[in-house]
Amino acid sequence: MALGSLVPFREGAMARPDAFIFGPFHRELDRVLEDLARSGGVYAPRMNVTETDKEIEVTAELPGLAREDIEVSIEDGALAIKGEKKVETEHKDKAARLIERSYGKFYRMLDLPNGVDPAGIQATMSNGVLKVAIPKTEMTNAKKIEVREAN
């Protein structure tokens, strides 16, 4: 979960009337949480989840990581993606002026809906992007049922 998603009202989203009162507070909280993520070693990779009638696809940006650094598993009906982006220590005789890159362990869980085939899940990694394909079972394809007049 991205830290920014902890804030219930974001700009451009539909908001309650009282959200305008707290708008500046929410923006400041967003900024503080993003700063915390950068400086506190919290690393939460950005993800997309898309769906077709045949599968669900999860993609996660994991730049600088190799496939050996990532573990993908199914735990209690959820897809778990975990790993660690290690801090580069090649700073001999260098003073850091700006550090914005995020490092640290991460653990993301996504609840899987009913009607997916855990045995058929495939994960691939290319150019720092993890793709997890989760096939749907035949039962998840909707079937239209005709409603007839009762006798």
- What is this structure's pTM? 0.61
CATH of 46-140, one of 3.40.50.1260, 3.30.70.360, 1.10.3720.10, 2.60.40.790: 2.60.40.790
Q: What is the pLDDT of residues 8-41, one digit of tens each?
A: 444 444 545 555 566 677 777 777 766 665 555 5
Q: In this structure, how many other beta carbons lie within 10 angstroms of the beta carbon of residue 76?
A: 8
Q: How many CA atoms lie within 13 A of 142 on its CB side?
A: 5
Pairing label, strands 122-126, 104-111: unpaired
Domain segments of the chain: what residues? 1-40, 46-140
| 41-50 confidence digits (pLDDT tens) | 556 788 999 9
User: In the predicted model, is pLDDT for residue 7 greater than 60?
Assistant: no
Q: What is the pLDDT of residue 18?
A: 52
Closest CA to 131 of 62, 50, 55, 58: 58
Evaluate whether 80 touches 73 at the Cβ level (below 8 Å). yes
Residues β-bridged to residue 34: none
Instruction: Identify which has the larger pLDDT, 93 or 48.
Output: 48
Six token digits for residue 121? 């899940």
